[in-house]
Amino acid sequence: MAERYDCIIIGGGPAGLGASLYASRDRFRTLILEKFYPGGQINTTDRIENYPAFDNISGPDLIEKMVHQVTQFGTEIKTSAEVTALKRLDDGNIQVLTEEETFTARAAILAPGSTYRKLGVPGEEKFRRAGTGVSYCGTCDAPFFKDRRVVTVGGGNTAVEDTLHLTKFAREVILVHRRQEFRASRVLVEELMAKVNESGSNLKLRLDSVVTAIQGEGKVERTIVKNVKTGQETAIDCDGVFVFVGMVPNTDFVKGFVDLSEHGYMKCDPAYLRTKVPGVFVAGDCRVGAAMQLVTAVADGVNAVMWMKQYFRDPNWWNEGIKDELAPGGW
Amino acid sequence: MAERYDCIIIGGGPAGLGASLYASRDRFRTLILEKFYPGGQINTTDRIENYPAFDNISGPDLIEKMVHQVTQFGTEIKTSAEVTALKRLDDGNIQVLTEEETFTARAAILAPGSTYRKLGVPGEEKFRRAGTGVSYCGTCDAPFFKDRRVVTVGGGNTAVEDTLHLTKFAREVILVHRRQEFRASRVLVEELMAKVNESGSNLKLRLDSVVTAIQGEGKVERTIVKNVKTGQETAIDCDGVFVFVGMVPNTDFVKGFVDLSEHGYMKCDPAYLRTKVPGVFVAGDCRVGAAMQLVTAVADGVNAVMWMKQYFRDPNWWNEGIKDELAPGGW
């Protein structure tokens, strides 16, 4: 017989933990199903200074605080529990299947987050095994490249942040970016340029350039870089390649259950985070329109629970529009 | 000549502080105009256990951390600065007027929050002066009613929480609520009922009842309570009345500038928090559809800034719909 919960949260990252805090504090029987272990992507960040009220905290430390807080209120967390399918039953309950178990709940909150985007070039998969040279996480793997030469790829916040981080370890860092302009925030780009312009800097830029191959015998020895304006290819000798080119939403398992956008993000109404399936909400980086920030993911989880309570009070609300007297904090 | 900012945030509560962290960390010249002093309503809360990653913190302590964090990044905060009017100039800038000064900015984020709702009964205004007996904040004023008898009014989370808080101080607390059922979360209602059912409890309930008048000579001496089912009125001798019946959005100053809902909440599109005025966003408890929670208000501020950056990149985006490639955290 399937175990029955009030609320099953799929994904134990910031969105799922935010949701579970509110759900379990409200005495709803709450289960988090997490594919690996709690935290998700944020575990790979060693310095967070934009979570309001913390000047500076590491990802693992922040997650530890959140996990402690939610388990105090009774949230159950199952790790290594990968969800394979979901189904809405005739009685309105949501059935959630993992490889080994089946659960049901009155509502589900989908918060699977995103994973690293790949370059898709020859050599990338081959050298992904730990220690052979391709990495997607600067803060995780930088210490392995002490006094080595590394190539980094990307132009967003993570690319710039992690490239700067790597300069503290590597002998030399070459940042490859396909455009002249960076998408990273201004403060980060300024910090990057200041570092590049230091006398004797160990940081160099290769702009208007893309990586076309990663090569070596048994481990990374060089990267082939192509200038997109001239078409010219050059080899850069290096010991590692760090790929920082964004995220892909972890939404394969819900294909056909909820609607996905062209890029694979879950569609929902942005006011209430409802999918097309009554009782199924989304929260965090996996949804269309997510701001992709730590505190906005956490708040998505909280919002989903506030509206889940509205759904429990009145299931017919699912297809209704905004009414401001619905504001759940009203009297 | 008016001072020119990138971003003016109206209101220095959690939403405004969340916005200012992101705006100033991105090196936008950022000003908070705050009517009183930073924090808003949350300053009146002495125990917060639902801000993710803090097991337990007081409102003032949390606000102090947030203020410290945002001023480190260069946010300017003007206190006692009440905004009287806003205007969009022909060049697209937003002009913001206080009694004494005029500011302009490329964008404005309206985060004025909400204030306590009044009962609107005879005696309420008269006894509002500190110390004469009517209060809207249990955690602020409970110590003044040590060993006294107080009436509390309301049925939401704040009413139940603050009523329980008052039982630690007052000799007797009588909670008046107009219905049988409470809107407060289950865990709180359970705690309330446990307290009521303690042997020799100092907490009593008057359900299906409303306060019709607050009376006394120079200070509160009694409350008139009417049973809404029988119509019968009775007097309860007491030294104070705590009114916990919800919030009213602080939106009078934007009437005619942005659209308001029937209940005075600012209308916006829930995906991007845009008002009808290009360059003017809303965040927090003042908007239609707000979840009225601390972390959701903070995240509203962050979201508004993420979309403000999109507006700066492309002002024409203002009237466009959702496109998932717009997600600002992408590469």
pLDDT at B147 over 90: yes
Q: Can you tell me the mean pLDDT for A186-190?
A: 86
Query: In terms of domains, do B251 and B212 share one?
Result: no
Tens digits of residue pLDDT in B103-142: 999 999 999 999 889 999 999 988 876 568 998 888 677 8
How far is A292 from chain B, CA to nearest CA, in Å? Answer: 5
Contact status of A295 with chain B (Cβ, < 8 Å):
yes
Q: Residue A1 — very low, low, confident or very high, per pLDDT cuts 50/70/90?
A: low
pLDDT at B291 over 70: yes
pTM for the structure as a whole? 0.81
| Mean of per-residue pLDDT scores for chain B | 91
- The reported pLDDT for the residue numbered A325 is 43
Final residue of a domain: which of A243, A268, A303? A243
**Pairwise CA distance, residues B316 & B310, whole Å:** 10
Tens digits of residue pLDDT in B51-78: 999 999 999 999 999 999 999 999 999 9
Q: Can you tell me the mean pLDDT for B146-175?
A: 93
A7 is an active site residue:
no
Query: In terms of domains, do B151 and B267 share one?
Result: no
- The reported pLDDT for the residue numbered B329 is 37
Query: In terms of domains, do B83 and B159 share one?
Result: no
pLDDT at A306 over 70: yes
| Mean of per-residue pLDDT scores for chain A | 91
Q: A111: domain CATH number?
A: 3.50.50.60
Query: In terms of domains, do A131 and A232 share one?
Result: yes
* Residue among A49, A72, A330 minimizing CB distance to B246: A330
Q: Residue B321 — very low, low, confident or very high, per pLDDT cuts 50/70/90?
A: low
- The reported pLDDT for the residue numbered A49 is 85
How far is A181 from chain B, CA to nearest CA, in Å? Answer: 12
Q: Residue B1 — very low, low, confident or very high, per pLDDT cuts 50/70/90?
A: low
Query: In terms of domains, do A106 and A122 share one?
Result: no
**Pairwise CA distance, residues B94 & B318, whole Å:** 15
Residues 115-174 of A with CB under 8 A from B: 117, 154-157, 159
pLDDT at A148 over 90: yes
Instruction: Name the helix (H) or strand (E) containing A303.
Output: helix A294-313
Record: contact A306-B298, CB cut-off 8 A: no
How far is A125 from chain B, CA to nearest CA, in Å? Answer: 21
Q: How many domains does chain B have?
A: 2
Contact status of A32 with chain B (Cβ, < 8 Å):
no
Q: Which is more confidently placed, A50 or A298?
A: A298
Q: Which is more confidently placed, A324 or A138?
A: A138
Query: In terms of domains, do B92 and B125 share one?
Result: no
Query: In terms of domains, do B105 and B125 share one?
Result: no
Query: In terms of domains, do B29 and B46 share one?
Result: yes
Query: In terms of domains, do A29 and A109 share one?
Result: yes
**Residue of A6, A140, A259, A269 with catalytic role:** A140
Record: contact A295-B296, CB cut-off 8 A: no
Interface-testing mutation among B75, B248, B259, B295, with chain A (most A C-beta atoms within 10 A): B295
Final residue of a domain: which of A243, A273, A290? A243
- The reported pLDDT for the residue numbered B325 is 43
Interface-testing mutation among A285, A324, A326, with chain B (most B C-beta atoms within 10 A): A324
Query: In terms of domains, do B125 and B239 share one?
Result: yes
Contact status of B247 with chain A (Cβ, < 8 Å):
yes
Q: Can you tell me the mean pLDDT for A253-262?
A: 95
pLDDT at B331 over 50: no
Q: Residue A321 — very low, low, confident or very high, per pLDDT cuts 50/70/90?
A: low
Final residue of a domain: which of B222, B243, B264? B243
Q: State which residue of chain B sits closest to A300, comparing Cα positions.
A: B296
- The reported pLDDT for the residue numbered A301 is 98
Which residues of chain A have a CB within 8 Å of the CB of B211?
none
pLDDT at B323 over 90: no
Write a three-state SS string for chain B: CCEEEEEEEECCCHHHHHHHHHHHHCCCCEEEECCCCCCHHHHHCCCECCCCCCCCECHHHHHHHHHHHHHHCCCEEECCCCEEEEEECCCCCEEEEECCCEEEEEEEEECCCEEECCCCCCCCCCCCCCCCCEECCHHHHHHHHCCCEEEEECCCHHHHHHHHHHHCCCCEEEEECCCCCCCCCHHHHHHHHHHHCCCCCCEEEECCEEEEEEECCCCCCEEEEEECCCCCEEEEECCEEEECCCEEECCHHHECCECECCCCCECCECCCCECCCCCEEECCCCECCCCCCHHHHHHHHHHHHHHHHHHHHCHHHHHCCCCHHHCCCCC
* CA proximity to B274, closest of B239, B300, B237: B300
Tens digits of residue pLDDT in B185-234: 787 899 999 999 999 999 999 999 999 999 999 999 999 999 999 999 99
Q: How far is CA A181 from CA A154, A160, A175, A178, B228, in A?
A: 11, 12, 13, 9, 67
Q: Report CA torsion sign: B278, B281, B287, B289.
A: positive
Q: Is ipTM beyond 0.85?
A: no
Query: In terms of domains, do B149 and B209 share one?
Result: yes
B140 is an active site residue:
yes
- The reported pLDDT for the residue numbered B240 is 96
How many residues in total does chain B contain?
331
A286 is an active site residue:
no
* Domain interval for residue A298: 3-115+247-330
**Pairwise CA distance, residues B249 & B117, whole Å:** 9
- The reported pLDDT for the residue numbered A144 is 83
Query: In terms of domains, do B321 and B261 share one?
Result: yes
Residues 250-289 of B with CB under 8 A from A: 261-263, 265, 269-272, 285, 288-289
* CA proximity to A211, closest of A230, A229, A227, A224: A224
| Residue pair A7/A96 in contact by the 8 Å Cβ criterion | no
**Pairwise CA distance, residues A41 & A72, whole Å:** 23
Q: How many other CB atoms are found less than 10 A from the CB of residue A123?
A: 21
